[in-house]
């Protein structure tokens, strides 16, 4: 897991949207890249921003994965 700022998240979503707009080929590889990019964009948009002050509280609420 990594933490990024809310602004970085917004920038990433914007870049993914631009990627989807510029990919115009109709081959399977391009289709899959666009599909995965759109899926990632939806996941990132669904993430709720939170403040840096609440980060330690949110991390302590995460389930332990045993890594």
pTM as predicted: 0.66
Q: Encode burial over 28-40: b for 16+ CB neighbours within 10 A, e otherwise.
A: eeeeeebeebeee
Domain count of the chain? 1
Unique residue bearing structure tokens 């939170």: 50
The single-letter DSSP state of residue 40 is H
Mean pLDDT to the nearest integer, 29-48: 91
46: helix, coil or strand? helix
Domain that holds residue 42: 6-48
- Does residue 34 belong to any structural domain of this protein? yes
**Residue 49 pLDDT class (50, 70, 90 cuts):** confident
Q: In the predicted model, is pLDDT for residue 51 greater than 90?
A: no
4-34 residue pLDDT tens: 888 999 999 999 999 999 988 889 999 999 9
| Residues 67, 52: Cα–Cα separation, whole Å | 24
- Does residue 14 belong to any structural domain of this protein? yes
């Amino acid at each position: 897991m990594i933490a990024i700022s809310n602004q970085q998240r917004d920038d990433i979503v914007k870049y993914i949207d631009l990627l989807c707009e510029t990919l115009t080929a109709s081959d399977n590889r391009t289709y899959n890249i666009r599909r995965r990019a759109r899926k990632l964009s939806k996941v990132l948009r669904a993430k709720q921003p939170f403040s840096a002050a609440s980060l330690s509280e949110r991390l302590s609420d995460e389930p332990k994965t045993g890594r």
